[in-house]
Amino acid sequence: MREAWNAFWFRPSAPNGIIAARVVIALNALWLIASRPLLPDVVRWPAPFWTHADVFIRTRFFVLPLPFFVEMTLYAILAIALVGAAAGIALRVCAFAAAILIYHFAPMEDIFTSIGGPFFRGFTLPLLGLLILAQSQRPKRSDGPSSEFRWPLALMQVLFAFTYLLSGFSKLRIAGASWSTGDTFESIVLAMMIPDSVPPWAHFFVGNALLCWLGAIVGTALDFLFIVAVLSRRAARLIIPITFIAHLVIIRVLGVVFLGMPMLLLFVNWDWVREALRRESGARTEIALAE
Amino acid sequence: MQIGSLAAFAIFVALGVRVLTSAAERRRRAINHLLAYTLGVHAFLLIAQKDAWPFSVYPMMAAVSRNRSDQHQMIVARGVDAQGREWPVDPIAWSPLYPSSTLAWFDVGYPSASAAERQSVMRFLLERAEKARRQRAAGEAFIGNRALLGPLAAPDTNLYGAVSPAPMPFRALRIYRVFWNPTAFARDPSRVTRKLLCEYRS
């Protein structure tokens, strides 16, 4: 057991994966921040909105009655910290500051009505990933393989895989095995067809038992099998593209966008990518010298 | 629950700081504690079916009704021009929030709000809706949540249908509660009933 634990978390790895993870996570968060450039504006919304915002939720996320310019300054610091983290500048400070500020700002999108927190707003893994980066050793491209480059990336991959695995277990626990049926999938498609917003491919599924069963089976398989991509690079080569395509289909069928989709890049074999780029660059140099 | 969630996050941060500050010979042990804690928190939340963001068990779409006779409902907003015609409000009019987060106030806050509070909220929403209409009508694409990235901006988790800008200014805002049966709606999108919740005129 201990051997398996150590082999999984601490086997020596080249630094390419964790360097790529740093860039992916920081840029994913930056994309979300830049897509809500005035998120702190909610503190200026009329008082009646805030009257019913749960005081315990506000306290939990440090949403205190601060002036707009203070919140906006903190938001700007968040953006700068993410740029720093992506570039690897003052990594620990930038990653830690960005993580804490994401923790503060992410719930603002639902602050007036949320009861659970922003678990599906795309900030979950960036926040945890940045905290993990803040605690891990700063890698350099010239570094040799080390367990210090393995466990942070493995933990991020496991946390990302939990998006699917725990979702699958939650469905089992709440709805039972009957969740994985064509009938249930059709009910979900129907529930997502709402006035003002009907997903463009929803109609293909409603009344089509074959497609609905396919949706249920693929959905269940992804929930429970995605974790295999964490354990096997060979399996990841198959699972990651299928998951990416599945998310694109979900957008068209259910109208739901998974904002953590860029995190699939955590599973790319960056050692192989770097080696391929090096070979390509070497070949070009040889051609140029021959000419 | 909120305090417990905050504590769970604080412990994660503290264990991380311990990894950072541990001497080399104790570092592996500190990392193991962090890993075990992270896995343990998720296992606990899964069993308890609780959410303690940023630790989550992602229960989206786990509870779905398969009763096809169920009536679904939601809150929608309509801008009203000087001729009394109704128009959908631009989904990014209330940036940084999207309609589902904004209009949920009519479920949680509106019933107990005073007349003055209701008016204050409606005035605000109408002004923002009209501003977005004006910007769209002028052909501006970089507005609201799309001010920086335009069409490359991350959307809301739920997609909203495209809205053509109304040609005339909004003079009023109406909030409706809309009801529909999903099966009937899938066959014919016009099969919805609606009840006026409130109206505000500028």
Q: Say how far apart CA A145 and CA A11 lie, in whole Å.
A: 9
pLDDT, averaged across chain B: 93
Q: Which of residues 93-122 of B touch A (CB under 8 A)?
A: 95-98, 101-102, 104-105, 107-109, 112-113, 117-118, 120-121
Its pTM stands at 0.93
pLDDT, averaged across chain A: 92
Q: Say how far apart CA A113 and CA A49 lie, in whole Å.
A: 9
Average pLDDT over residues A242-265: 95
Q: How does DSSP classify residue A143?
A: P
Residue A133 pLDDT level (bands cut at 50, 70, 90)? very high
Percent of chain B with pLDDT over 70: 100
Identify the residue among B17, B45, B56 best suited for mutation to test binding to A, counting A beta carbons within 10 A and taking the highest. Answer: B56
Looking at residue A29, its pLDDT comes to 97
B53 interfacial to chain A (CB closer than 8 Å): yes
B64 interfacial to chain A (CB closer than 8 Å): yes
Q: Say how far apart CA B56 and CA B79 lie, in whole Å.
A: 38
Average pLDDT over residues A278-287: 82
Percent of chain A with pLDDT over 70: 98
Average pLDDT over residues A142-155: 92
Domain boundary assignment for chain A? 11-149
- What does the angle CA A213 – CA A218 – CA A221 come to, to the nearest 5 degrees? 125
Number of Cβ within 10 Å of residue A70's Cβ equals 12
Percent of chain B with pLDDT over 90: 78
User: How distant, in Å, are the alpha carbons of A204, A233, B127 from that of A153?
Assistant: 39, 13, 47
Q: Say how far apart CA B63 and CA B70 lie, in whole Å.
A: 14
Looking at residue A282, its pLDDT comes to 82
Please say whether the beta carbons of A266 and A156 come within 8 A: yes
pLDDT tens-digit series, residues A100-117:
999 999 999 888 876 555
Beta bridge partners of A13: A146
* Structure tokens that stand for A22 in this block: 């740093």
Instruction: Please report the DSSP string for B5-71 in residue order.
Output: HHHHHHHHHHHHHHHHHS-HHHHHHHHHHHHHHHHHHHHHHHHHT--BTTB----TTTS----TTPP
Q: Say how far apart CA A197 and CA A186 lie, in whole Å.
A: 17
Residue B160 pLDDT level (bands cut at 50, 70, 90)? confident
Q: Say how far apart CA A207 and CA A199 lie, in whole Å.
A: 15
Looking at residue A42, its pLDDT comes to 95
Instruction: Please report the DSSP string for B130-189 in residue order.
Output: HHHHHHHHTT--S-GGGTTTGGGS---SB-----PPPSS-EEEEEEEEEEE-HHHHHH-T
- B89 Cβ contact list (under 8 Å, min separation 6): B77, B78, B79, B99, B129, B132, B133, B163, B173
Nearest CA in chain A to B97: A109
Q: Work out the angle between the directed axes of helices A16-34 and A91-105 (0-180°, nearest 10).
A: 40
Place of tokens 């957008």: A251
pLDDT tens-digit series, residues A210-248:
999 999 999 999 999 999 999 999 999 999 999 999 999
* Structure tokens that stand for B31 in this block: 């990392």
Place of tokens 């009023």: B172
Please say whether the beta carbons of A38 and B96 come within 8 A: yes
Residue A162 pLDDT level (bands cut at 50, 70, 90)? very high
Beta bridge partners of B201: B172
Looking at residue A142, its pLDDT comes to 83
Q: Say how far apart CA A192 and CA A188 lie, in whole Å.
A: 6
Amino acid letter for position B170:
F
Looking at residue A115, its pLDDT comes to 56
pLDDT tens-digit series, residues B70-126:
899 999 999 999 999 999 999 999 999 999 899 999 998 999 999 999 999 999 999
Domain boundary assignment for chain B? 2-48, 72-201
Nearest CA in chain A to B107: A113
B24 interfacial to chain A (CB closer than 8 Å): no
Looking at residue A111, its pLDDT comes to 85
- For the ranges A53-62, A108-117, B59-68, the lowest mean pLDDT is seen at A108-117
Residue B2 pLDDT level (bands cut at 50, 70, 90)? confident
* Structure tokens that stand for B97 in this block: 């929030």
- Among B13, B49, B160, select the one facing A170 at the smallest CB separation: B49
Residue A118 pLDDT level (bands cut at 50, 70, 90)? low
| H or E, element range at A261 | none
B54 interfacial to chain A (CB closer than 8 Å): yes
- Among A45, A175, A194, select the one facing B63 at the smallest CB separation: A175
Is the confidence metric ipTM above 0.90 for this complex?
A: yes
Tell me if A187 and B66 make a contact (CB, 8 A cut-off): yes
Residue of A232, A179, A234, A183 lying closest to A205 (CA atoms) = A183
Torsion over CA: A136, A26, A231, A226 (sign): positive
Amino acid letter for position B6:
L
User: How distant, in Å, are the alpha carbons of A35, A58, A120, A154, B5 from that of B56?
Assistant: 23, 18, 9, 18, 10
pLDDT tops 70 at residue B37: yes
- Among A128, A166, A196, select the one facing B160 at the smallest CB separation: A196
Q: Say how far apart CA A125 and CA A26 lie, in whole Å.
A: 10
